[in-house]
Chain A
Amino acid sequence: MKNSMDYREYMEKTDRVGKIWIWTALVVVLMVPVAICVYYHAWPSGQAVLKGLIGVAPIYWTVGVIEVITYTPMLGTGGTYLAFVTGNLTSIKAPSALNAMENADVKPGSEEGEVISTMAIATSSIVTTLVIALGVIGLSALAPILDSPVLAPAFDNILPALFGGLAVVYVSKNWKISLAPLIFMVVLFLLVPSLAGSVGVLVPVGVLVALGAARIMYKKGWL
């Protein structure tokens, strides 16, 4: 019982410090355009910003809301507060948290899961930031290599390259739960290929299909 109290205390403290960091991050993020405007005396017209925003906000705000609801239970409290500041959730943060929890043999949502997920997300944030920083320093030398058409297919295919390996581990261990969402998604993308551009919106759809199918199988005693 004492341990569970400790855990609750730890989580409450994590939530508190997480909130301080993320609200500070909000100020830092907003300070960037403010500083640019003040330093260069270049406040843009509200109309220009609004017009630009109308082109992207409806879809990205929707994706933002969906991502918060979908990824928070998976990444845990500390991991969520960090991952949503540092970004690149689907290509780096969620897979690294998932892979780390699998390797450490801990369950998402447990205290050990919270520790491992947070450590994985923090490590990947640090490495990503450092790689970008080093890349920026050597950009003049690196740009022609990174931009070369020879390497383009490697980066164009980074998501299938990542999710192929990840799927083997997860799908093979949980093939019964995987079947319904996998079939649903493959058929959906075959029928409506244009949806590939809004895969972020489809993550919760996949989650709902997986949860629905898992619930039915669980009730029937198949899991």
Chain B
Amino acid sequence: MNFSTNSSFLYVLAVCVIIFVLAQSVYFLVRAYRRGKAIGMETAVLKKTVLSTAVFTIAPAISILLGVVTLSKFLGIPLPWIRMSVIGAITYELPAATSTANALGISLSETITDPKVYSAIAWVMTLGILPSIVLPPILMKRIQGGVIKIKNKDSKWGDIFMTAMFLGMISAFLGMVFADVRKGLAGFIPIFVLLVSALIMCICGLLIKKCKMKWLETYALSISMVGAMIFAVLITPLIV
């Protein structure tokens, strides 16, 4: 059997996985929408959620596509396509492929031709992310039970608890932006990008409140993110 990292068999495999992911997503979307309607939530709010999220997702999704491009140079297209559509993230998939290639003494500078190397990489990529898929069903009841307990005991603290969790997460990513400041001015680029994003969001907020541009709420996060990304493209050549 001739092996190719871009064989039609691998594409068929990829399409099957993609259909599964889409089916699960559509199922949960329809189910949540129906529940929202059943408990009296406004259709406009539900529709706005879909539209706003869809617009916001496009830019990060393109960055994931970039991950597929990176990995496709040595793994072909189907496997990175599968991996980046299910659980994957480039921050994991690339080290997983590199680690396996190193273990086998293979260079990842060119496309893999040995099916055994390819399957070893596929296994490492898959086994490495297993906890993310195995643990939610095992721990769900315990974790959600704990949250309900906290909320029932003191609902005000319950709300603060959830807000604090989100802020803890946001803080970790905001702090990370400062990691490269010792590298000189180039290390400040992420901070500048962060500030520009924050500034655009402030302007959007002002327009929403002062100019009654309520529709902007749907796109504010997307606009600030894409605006800051464009700023990064413009400022980086001037600094680096």
Contacts and interface: CB of A to CB of B under 8 A. Distances in A.
A1 to B, nearest CB: 14
Contacts of A158: 59-60, 63, 225, 229
8 contacts: A60-B129, A68-B131, A70-B169, A72-B140, A80-B140, A132-B68, A153-B232, A213-B164
Given A64-B129, A135-B68, A168 B49 contact: no
Contacts of B64: 88, 91-92, 128, 131-132
A119 B141 CA distance: 21
Contacts of B53: 96, 99-100, 119-120, 123-124, 127
List the 6 shortest-distance A-B pairs measured between CB atoms, nearest first. A185-B175, A164-B197, A55-B99, A52-B100, A207-B168, A64-B131
Contacts of B171: 178, 181-182, 184-185, 206, 209-210
Interface in B168-222: 168-182, 189-191, 193-198, 200-202, 205, 217-218, 220-221
Interface residues of B, number: 150
Given A100-B53, A129-B22, A160 B89 contact: no
Contact of B123 (A33, A112, A211): A33
Given A22-B137, A77-B140, A136 B233 contact: no
A181 B25 contact: no
Interface string A105-135: 0011101101110111111111111111101
Contacts of A214: 160-161, 163-164
State the majority secondary structure of interface residues on B: helix
Interface string B1-35: 10100000110010011101110111111011101
A210 to B, nearest CB: 4
A48 B100 contact: yes
B143 interface: yes
A96 B133 CA distance: 20
A57 B100 CA distance: 11
Given A37-B119, A127-B57, A163 B173 contact: yes
Contacts of B60: 88, 91-92, 128, 158, 162
Contacts of B172: 181, 185, 199, 202-203, 205-206
Interface in A30-45: 30, 32-33, 35-37, 39-45
A42 B116 contact: yes
Given A88-B88, A154-B230, A36 B122 contact: yes
A67 B91 CA distance: 14
Given A57-B127, A160-B193, A203-B168, A40 B137 contact: no
Contacts of A57: 127-128
Contacts of A194: 179
A154 B232 contact: yes
B217 A103 contact: yes
Interface in A1-38: 3, 10-11, 14-15, 17-19, 21-26, 28-30, 32-33, 35-37
B126 interface: yes
Contact of A99 (B10, B56, B65, B87): B56
B127 to A, nearest CB: 6
A161 B164 contact: no
A56 B99 contact: yes
